[in-house]
Amino acid sequence: MVKKSLISVITQEEKEENSGSVEFQVSHFTNKIRRLTSHLQLHKRDFLSQRGLRIILGKRQRLLTYLSKKNKMRYKKLIDQLDIRKPKTR
């Protein structure tokens, strides 16, 4: 399975201190998204997991939008760390 290849960007000390921070939540959602994506590559007809993936993607998108409005520097740093692309702007 791919679980062991997912490396956390945030250290254990930061997890204990800032588990509610936007950066922690986005990185946690990103790990979940990567895990679900690898699962769905094996199980293409797992529609409940597809729905869960779409829900998590929406939550991460909203958090990233919030962070980009509040603090551009933290947003850019997080995007670079997690290696995810910049969301489309309206």
What does pLDDT average to over the chain?
86
pLDDT tens digits for 75-88?
999 999 999 976 66
CATH number of 25-82: 1.10.287.10
End-to-end C-alpha distance for the chain, whole angstroms: 37
Q: Binning pLDDT at 50, 70 and 90, where does residue 19 land?
A: confident
Instruction: Tell me the domain boundaries of the chain.
Output: 25-82
Nearest residue to 36 via CA among 6, 80, 10: 6
